[in-house]
Amino acid sequence: MIRPFERSDLDQVLEIWLDTNRRAHSFISASYWEGQLEAVRAALPQAELYVWEEAGEVLGFLGLEGEHIAGIFVRHKAQSHGMGRLLLDRAKAGRERLTLCVYQKNVRAAAFYRREGFTALRVQMDQFTGEAEYFMGWTLER
């Protein structure tokens, strides 16, 4: 079930964020992600967040900053079951456009976003990691 984030979800959400980043971005040192944890802990409650919860366990979440998707993260054991798509559909609901950034080397995620109607608008460098990333956009078809 998708529902709005609650403060009590924070530890589970952080665990998912860290594990997913380590797994999906093996081309970036795990110490980088670990070093970002406290900043993310402070930033997450400021964003518009939706979690996927089953039987009291948070299995995934999506973060939005206005029309920009800050990230979609799904527990490793729950990936490839449509949860990411449903979280993305929640973000699309009531919006006419969305943007996001995804590392070029994260081929799986870039392909997912393309399947879901996003197009690469430009390639840019992530100022923090030095990695190339796609800036992607989605617009509601009328």
| pLDDT given at position 141 | 86
Identity of the amino acid at 34: E
Rounded CA-CA distance 138/117 in Å is 6
| pLDDT given at position 72 | 96
In angstroms, the Cα distances linking 140 to 9, 29, 59, 88 are 31, 36, 27, 13
Q: Which CATH architecture has domain 2-139?
A: 3-Layer(aba) Sandwich (3.40)
Per-domain boundaries in the chain: 2-139
Length of the chain as a residue count:
142
Q: DSSP H helical segments within the chain, as ranges?
A: 10-24, 30-43, 83-92, 107-115
Q: Are strands 119-125 and 68-74 parallel, antiparallel or unpaired?
A: unpaired
Q: Are strands 97-103 and 57-65 parallel, antiparallel or unpaired?
A: unpaired
pLDDT along the chain (142 residues), means of 10: 95 96 95 96 93 95 96 90 93 95 96 97 96 97 80
